[in-house]
């Protein structure tokens, strides 16, 4: 029988309190059959990104446990951070890995969305391949206005109402975007200085929606704890994005604004194929090591007979 694996990369709106994040991760680890491969906490974004892998049902159940704990522990009315967000459990994407198709992950996402609403009373927006409305395929469209704006708009604007549950948001946990997509690489470039406006303009220059690189989303953010600014990017189709050209464009635009690159980082894991396409791009990242390559981690799990 062929092994069937999916990945889920839930993003939680807490990146400062290790106790809360630890409790969320423990809740997911308590579900049998799924494995937590990576945790990335960022205090400036005030956000944590968890990477889970396993058979589809096991991963879905683990994520549901994590969402429940996040709803219990995170109050968005008290949350602030550099990263846009609409929920305590902000984004829950399902990604096919082995012997699973994207349309199957979309079905899992819709099932999980129904469970989140029924179990925790948190409304759900479906995005990516799971979207029920064409305009909601793109996550930035779903997240426009963030928690505060969506809280006001969803009850009275049919165009902003959740796909599952609602119409109002959960009073403390907001809403959650649940979707299915191909592998995404989260990649940040940190710039010396505190010129946030320059970082914002650099992000605008390189992102697809402003006429930059295809399959690149980018925002400029402040990293107050490090005295830096950042161009935070999602690479939604690494096969079709010239990674070295993207890095050079960020470096060139930064120099034009009088800024130097302080470093770069990967958030989460990357597929081996992406690494082989542009090894120098990833090797210059401060946190690169063989363990950030997904297949290396899967081989470790296989040797331990986790599935």
Active site residues: 83
| Exposure class string for 28-43: b at 16+ Cβ within 10 A, else e | beebeebbbbbebbbb
Rounded Cα distance between 75 and 78, Å, is 6
Residues of the chain by 3-state class (helix, strand, coil), percent to 5:
40, 25, 35
In 3D, which of 254, 169, 129 has the Cα closest to residue 203? 254
User: For residue 143, what is the DSSP state?
Assistant: T
For residue 233, the 8-state DSSP code is E
Contact yes or no for 108/60 (Cβ under 8 A): yes
Closest alpha carbon to 178 in 197, 162, 191, 193? 162
CB 263 within 8 Å of CB 190: yes
Longest CA–CA span in the chain (Å) reads 57
Beta-sheet pairing, 124-128 with 176-180: parallel
Helix (H, G, I), strand (E, B) or coil at 175: coil
Q: How many CB atoms lie within 10 A of CB 271?
A: 18
**How many residues are recorded in the chain?**
307
Which residues touch 142 (CB under 8 Å, ≥6 apart)? 86, 125, 127, 136, 177
How many other C-beta atoms are found inside a 10 Å radius of the C-beta of residue 73?
19
């Amino acid at each position: 029988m062929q092994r069937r694996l999916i990945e889920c990369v839930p993003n939680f709106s807490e990146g400062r309190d290790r106790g809360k994040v630890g409790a969320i991760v423990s809740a997911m680890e308590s579900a049998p059959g799924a494995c937590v491969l990576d945790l990335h906490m960022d205090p400036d974004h005030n956000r944590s990104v968890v990477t889970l892998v396993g058979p589809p049902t096991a991963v879905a159940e683990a994520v549901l446990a994590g969402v429940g704990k996040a709803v219990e522990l995170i109050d968005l009315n008290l949350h602030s951070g550099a990263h846009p967000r609409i929920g305590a459990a902000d984004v829950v994407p399902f990604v096919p890995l082995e012997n699973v198709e994207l349309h199957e992950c979309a079905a899992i996402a819709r099932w999980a969305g129904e469970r989140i609403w029924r179990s925790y009373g948190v409304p759900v927006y479906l995005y990516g391949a799971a979207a029920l409305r064409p305009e909601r395929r793109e996550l930035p469209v779903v997240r426009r206005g963030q928690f505060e704006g969506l809280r006001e708009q969803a009850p009275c604007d049919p165009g902003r109402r959740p796909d599952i549950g609602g119409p109002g948001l959960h009073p403390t946990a907001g809403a959650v975007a649940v979707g299915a997509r191909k592998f995404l690489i989260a990649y940040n470039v940190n710039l010396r200085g505190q010129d946030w406006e320059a970082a914002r303009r650099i992000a605008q220059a390189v992102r697809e929606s402003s006429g930059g690189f295809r399959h690149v989303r980018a925002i400029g953010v402040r990293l107050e704890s490090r005295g830096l600014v950042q161009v935070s990017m999602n690479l939604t189709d690494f096969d079709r994005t010239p990674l070295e050209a993207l890095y050079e464009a960020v470096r060139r635009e930064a120099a034009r604004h009088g800024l130097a690159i302080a470093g770069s980082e990967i958030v989460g894991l990357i597929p081996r194929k992406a690494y082989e396409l542009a090894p120098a791009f990833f090797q210059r990242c401060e946190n690169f090591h063989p363990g950030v390559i997904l297949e290396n981690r899967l081989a470790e799990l296989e040797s331990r007979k986790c599935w």
